A and B are shown apart, each in its own frame.
Chain A
Amino acid sequence: MKAFAYVNPTSEKEAVAALKTDGIAMVIGGGQDLLSRMKDYIDSPDRVVNVKGLDATVTATSDGGVKIGSAVKIVDLAEHAAVMSLYPSVAAAAIEVGTPQIRNQGTVGGNINQRPRCWYFRNEEFVCYKKGGSRCFAVNGENQYHAIFGNDGPSHIVHPSSLAVPFVAYGAKFRVLGPNGEREIAAADYFTMPTLANVLKENVLDDEDILTHVILPAPGNVKHGHYEVRYKQSHDWPLAFTTVVLVMNGVNGTSGANGTSGSTIRSARVVLGAVAPVPWRSRPAEDALAGKALNEATAALAGEAAISEAKPMSGNAYKIQIAKTAVKRAVMRAAGIKTV
């Protein structure tokens, strides 16, 4: 990799200030993504700004939610007592990320802001839209792991972050600090669908912005389910996955004998991962769940509804079946029904 200057700021403000330079400055968290991009010459920053020294705590907020510092390690998120009890799908997503080494080193901020895994993006030789070029090689090339939703282009990546999906499902806000101060953005608005104008990035962050916190609201009377389908059990990304957060009518948790919940679903959030350029909120699936009893039949309907919008590419139609299954099984998990 190319030689670079290393800056180790002691505060958020210093970190933002350090990003101002004539050359290219980049933020480094655990480095699990950035360093491999640098080794592969996808990025060659002149200055690397360490943000592992920023807030690395999970704290309770006054409204019953939690505030997660961007420097929190993925493993610590996965094992945090309040996260596990209030937002089990966040913990479930975190514990499946990569490998133990990646979870021990990777941070929440890095995970949310990691760059796409598209083979062409990761190969120096292919200068595609995302690297300032004027074509997408995946369209007529290898697209077996690419998007099946939101495929209008110009890029057809799937967003690589596992944590982003439950964050969107739980209605998180992201706190961002930049040269002009701080702002809070709903997680769902943070990630951007590609257009020719913004295709170089996957989110709304400017070059001198950093993500400092993820703020999760109190979950309320909800049931949660998270399901990932992976090609292999470690050292890999999911093929497709889903978080569902169900707001229930009536008393929580009265289950019938066959796993059928006594109560009905008031409203649902269904967010799919690894299927679109952003964490993909499925309104059809949410509509299919609203007002229904929580049982396996409803789960199957939600799966069917979710894929009604799918538009696969030449080589990834098989992912539709997988996405459908992920939705169905996430709902089943929320209902406490055994999946496989």
Chain B
Amino acid sequence: MSSRARKAVGRNVLRKEGHDKVTGAARYIDDLTFPGLLHARTIRSTIPAGEIVKVRFKGDRAGFTLVDHHDIPGRNIVALIDEDQPCLAERKIRHVAEPILLLVHEDREKLRAADVQIEYRPSTPNYDPERSAITFKKIAIDKGDLDAGFAAADVIVEGEYRTGLQEQLYIETNGVIAVPGSSVAGAAGGITVYGSMQCPYYVHRALVILLGLPAGKVRVIQTETGGGFGGKEEYPSMMAGHAALAALKTGRPVKLVYDRVEDMLATTKRHPSIVRHRTGVTRDGRLTAIDIDAVLDGGAYATLSAVVLSRGMIHAAGPYRCDHIRIRGRATMTNTPPNGAFRGFGAPQTQFAAEVHMDRIAERLGLDPVRVREINALRPGDTTATGQRLGKDSSALQVLREAVTRTGFRKRRRALAGTNRGIGLSLFFHGSGFTGAGEVKLAAKASLALTHKGARIHVASTEIGQGTRTMLAQIVADALGVRYDDVDVNAADTGEVPDSGPTVASRTCMIVGRILERCAEEMRARLGRLTPRQYLRAFGPLVITKQYERPAGMVWDDTVYKGDAYGSYGWGCDVVEVEVDRDTYEVRPTAFTTVHEIGKAIHPMLAVGQIEGGSAQGLGYAILEDVVMRDGRMANATLTNYIIPTSLDTPPMQVVLLENPYPHGPSGAKGVGEMPIDGPAPAVINALRHAGFDLREIPATPERVMLTSSVESTQRTPRTPRKSQAWV
């Protein structure tokens, strides 16, 4: 093999699909069509809770096919974790926009005009997650002896923090096409589903269960996908089921593509949270006890709430050392559309609370916010809330110090004091890969096939705009010793690629990338001195498949939530300056610096892109993005009134990458996709606190800031710390 190939890792190589996207050649789901294509429309509930009494189709039924739960050959569930969510409602309605039946017709306009009336027997909905009768999941994390921790405290600080819903707002709305009969090897009675998605094998499994088909008769192919942010983790399984049922019933290809309003009304969002902190701290700023109670609003069905809660709780204490911790979390049901995966997956909610609370602790002690964090930041060798002993690749202090130096934080803080501006920071971390034993259970696989020039990657990991194909090809190119251009990537097609798991949890680079790196290392050894072409001529095809291997020494006990929750963590620190208009209460971020330690930036430009995009999304979460729910229904489900930041609303961003390699990641890489969204919201709220506004809830809309200012309190002057039962 040639060792002259220029290293690809660490270079800003051209994106694999960049040319097609820029020239418009890339084909998204709504660009595709098939002979005899029909369209489907989803008829949804208009009440938040109750029962269906009667369904009536009014008018001429010619040319229409109706699909309801009677048409389901297998089990009427959207298979995920729990089995509580029907693919099509039978009788019970648990939220507005719950799918009840599908109408199919070849003409989209006729489909729209069709009049289906549903009679209901409504019942009383519950929208309060704290008063819910149904708990999807509870998690308890205990470390040390909480009472002892509080006994050692000089001061106790308490607070309650709330975060709202957030919509993922990928540019391409959800869509699928189901084609009957053309399944793997043309097997009759099978089904092929194309679609915009993050997790082809989730969809595959859901279809097998819904349709009662053998796995070999179901094939799922990801089409070019215009963004996901978690929003295409679980919902495509539901849609694929709908389209597949319609395709099987009509015997023709069926397209189901949502418009923006339907996508926003019906699909998953970020879980709202209520997080309460009670913290013991010594006079000089050492954390002695952390007691956290959190509730996530799961919406009407369990979807991924259990695992969102899990990640949220593991990150709830923030990147801080403390010997005595108690964390209690639950995800409960309300009569709103189910909440689900969204970049960050529970961690943005709980770290928002932790970081705003940290500034309040600093304020209470009369310490500066950097100092309290320096004292308590997790260092290598420390243990986390789950008792995980951190390795050398733990960088809380480095990112903090780098951010403080780069921004001249303390000096700026003094300079801005008493003006209409404020500066705040947040320190955060984010575990890469599935939580706990997740990766072991999943046992992800990846394959590498030798080609005449190099190799072809076979993984189910999807390119959703974040650069999966590019980054994986870079890793393989270097490990195999070929040029980046000589590595190509197969479509994420379950008929052709092994199950490398879902494209979520910041796991694609660290976990799947590492498996591929091992494949490439073995392939290189097998080739010896031969070129790929020589090898193929001499020995025929070569495909190497490998499975995830747990790094030695990693342990996790799911029953008590103890052990190594993640293989590694990324570390970040954000510094935000805001300007507040004291007449109109507009909040404007004016400067933003973020330091991210991510192990190794395989493609620095893509990594910075993830950080800038995630940070902007985090700023939106903090200030602008307000999902208005009324009677269990999103009232502002359009792009003109659910507003996200544009470049004009985003301050110039200074992104600093640090690299502290993780020994079991490809070239030392950890995950980077989610972490950027953990930091901005608390940093903004802390900056507002510095400017005199005591907010505990996001988004910080002008109305909320105005209300806060009217109760602006004396808490701004730090009191003399004393052992106290007087809660702040």
Q: Most chain-A CB neighbours within 10 Å: which of B420, B583, B646, B701?
A: B583
> 3 closest A-B pairs (Cβ-Cβ)?
A233-B648, A325-B583, A234-B648
Instruction: Report A167 CB to chain B, min CB distance, Å.
Output: 23
Knowing A142-B635, A318-B702, say if A232 contacts B630 (CB, 8 Å).
Answer: no
Instruction: Report B576 CB to chain A, min CB distance, Å.
Output: 16
Bound CA span A40–B264, Å? 14
A142 x B703 contact (CB < 8 A): no
Bound CA span A239–B585, Å? 12
Bound CA span A123–B643, Å? 17
Knowing A3-B109, A141-B630, A142-B636, say if A231 contacts B643 (CB, 8 Å).
Answer: yes
Chain A residues with CB under 8 Å of B701's CB are: 231
26 pairs, A vs B, C-beta closer than 8 Å: A36-B640, A41-B112, A119-B635, A122-B638, A122-B640, A123-B638, A141-B630, A142-B628, A142-B635, A144-B703, A229-B586, A230-B586, A231-B624, A232-B645, A234-B649, A235-B643, A236-B643, A239-B702, A318-B585, A318-B702, A318-B706, A321-B706, A322-B583, A322-B584, A322-B702, A325-B584
Chain B residues with CB under 8 Å of A318's CB are: 585, 702-703, 706
Chain A residues with CB under 8 Å of B624's CB are: 231-232
Chain A residues with CB under 8 Å of B586's CB are: 229-231
Does A2 interact with chain B (Cβ within 8 Å)?
yes
- Picked from B109, B259, B584, B640, the residue with its CB within 8 Å of the CB of A117 is B640
Please give the residue numbers on chain B whose beta carbons come within 8 Å of chain A beta carbons, in ascending order.
109, 112, 259, 261, 420, 581, 583-586, 624, 628, 630, 635-636, 638, 640-641, 643, 645-649, 701-703, 706
Does A340 interact with chain B (Cβ within 8 Å)?
yes
Chain B residues with CB under 8 Å of A329's CB are: 583
Knowing A122-B640, A231-B624, say if A321 contacts B584 (CB, 8 Å).
Answer: yes
Bound CA span A145–B703, Å? 11
Bound CA span A22–B261, Å? 31
Bound CA span A40–B261, Å? 9
Bound CA span A236–B420, Å? 24
Nearest A residue (CB) for B707 = A318
Chain A residues with CB under 8 Å of B259's CB are: 39
Instruction: Report B120 CB to chain A, min CB distance, Å.
Output: 16
Q: Mark A298-340, 1 if CB is under 8 A from B, else 0.
A: 0000000000000000000010011011001100000000001
Nearest B residue (CB) for A145 = B641
Chain B residues with CB under 8 Å of A3's CB are: 109
Instruction: Report B646 CB to chain A, min CB distance, Å.
Output: 4
Chain B residues with CB under 8 Å of A234's CB are: 646-649
Chain A residues with CB under 8 Å of B585's CB are: 318, 321
Chain A residues with CB under 8 Å of B640's CB are: 36, 117, 122, 236
B643 x A229 contact (CB < 8 A): no
Chain B residues with CB under 8 Å of A229's CB are: 584, 586
Chain B residues with CB under 8 Å of A239's CB are: 584, 702
Bound CA span A25–B702, Å? 41
Chain A residues with CB under 8 Å of B635's CB are: 119, 141-142
Instruction: Report A115 CB to chain B, min CB distance, Å.
Output: 12
A119 x B636 contact (CB < 8 A): yes
Chain A residues with CB under 8 Å of B643's CB are: 231-232, 235-236
A119 x B261 contact (CB < 8 A): no
A142 x B630 contact (CB < 8 A): yes
15 extra interface residue pairs, beta carbon distance < 8 Å, beyond A122-B641, A324-B583, A340-B581: A36-B640, A39-B259, A99-B646, A122-B638, A142-B630, A142-B635, A231-B586, A231-B624, A231-B702, A232-B643, A233-B649, A236-B643, A318-B706, A321-B584, A328-B583
Interface size on A, residues (CB 8 A): 32
Please give the residue numbers on chain A whose beta carbons come within 8 Å of chain B beta carbons, in ascending order.
2-3, 36, 39-41, 99, 117, 119, 122-123, 141-142, 144-145, 229-236, 239, 318, 321-322, 324-325, 328-329, 340
Chain B residues with CB under 8 Å of A321's CB are: 583-585, 706
Instruction: Report B184 CB to chain A, min CB distance, Å.
Output: 38
Interface SS of chain B: loop
Using a Cβ cutoff of 8 Å, how many contacts connect chains A and B?
A: 73
Bound CA span A2–B259, Å? 15
Nearest B residue (CB) for A144 = B703
Bound CA span A239–B624, Å? 14
Chain B residues with CB under 8 Å of A235's CB are: 643, 646
Chain B residues with CB under 8 Å of A236's CB are: 640, 643
Chain B residues with CB under 8 Å of A141's CB are: 630, 635
Bound CA span A321–B641, Å? 21
Chain A residues with CB under 8 Å of B420's CB are: 340
Chain A residues with CB under 8 Å of B628's CB are: 142
Bound CA span A3–B643, Å? 30
Nearest B residue (CB) for A140 = B630
Bound CA span A296–B591, Å? 30
Nearest B residue (CB) for A39 = B259
Instruction: Report A316 CB to chain B, min CB distance, Å.
Output: 9
Knowing A231-B643, A234-B646, say if A2 contacts B109 (CB, 8 Å).
Answer: yes
B649 x A232 contact (CB < 8 A): yes
Bound CA span A107–B467, Å? 39
Bound CA span A99–B639, Å? 14
Nearest A residue (CB) for B641 = A119
Bound CA span A141–B635, Å? 9
Bound CA span A288–B423, Å? 39
Bound CA span A194–B621, Å? 37
B638 x A233 contact (CB < 8 A): no
Instruction: Report A158 CB to chain B, min CB distance, Å.
Output: 13
Bound CA span A325–B706, Å? 14
Bound CA span A3–B112, Å? 13
Instruction: Report B442 CB to chain A, min CB distance, Å.
Output: 40
Chain B residues with CB under 8 Å of A119's CB are: 635-636, 638, 641
Chain A residues with CB under 8 Å of B703's CB are: 144, 318
Bound CA span A325–B585, Å? 11
Bound CA span A141–B648, Å? 31
Q: Most chain-B CB neighbours within 10 Å: which of A41, A318, A321, A328?
A: A318
Chain A residues with CB under 8 Å of B706's CB are: 318, 321
Bound CA span A91–B636, Å? 31
Nearest A residue (CB) for B112 = A41
Nearest A residue (CB) for B633 = A125
Nearest A residue (CB) for B623 = A232
Nearest A residue (CB) for B586 = A229
Nearest A residue (CB) for B631 = A141
Instruction: Report A51 CB to chain B, min CB distance, Å.
Output: 23
Bound CA span A129–B104, Å? 33
Bound CA span A39–B259, Å? 10
Bound CA span A239–B581, Å? 14
Bound CA span A233–B636, Å? 19
Bound CA span A340–B580, Å? 10
Chain A residues with CB under 8 Å of B109's CB are: 2-3
Chain B residues with CB under 8 Å of A145's CB are: 641
Chain B residues with CB under 8 Å of A2's CB are: 109
Bound CA span A327–B319, Å? 47
Bound CA span A324–B582, Å? 13
Bound CA span A40–B643, Å? 18
Nearest B residue (CB) for A237 = B640
Chain A residues with CB under 8 Å of B638's CB are: 40, 119, 122-123
Nearest B residue (CB) for A324 = B583
A233 x B584 contact (CB < 8 A): no
Instruction: Report A261 CB to chain B, min CB distance, Å.
Output: 22
Instruction: Report A131 CB to chain B, min CB distance, Å.
Output: 16
Bound CA span A258–B646, Å? 37
Bound CA span A318–B705, Å? 11
Bound CA span A235–B646, Å? 8
Bound CA span A117–B639, Å? 12
Nearest B residue (CB) for A3 = B109
Bound CA span A328–B420, Å? 19
Bound CA span A230–B585, Å? 11
Nearest A residue (CB) for B638 = A122
Bound CA span A117–B640, Å? 9
Bound CA span A234–B646, Å? 7
Bound CA span A2–B584, Å? 42
Nearest B residue (CB) for A141 = B630
Chain A residues with CB under 8 Å of B112's CB are: 41
Chain B residues with CB under 8 Å of A340's CB are: 420, 581
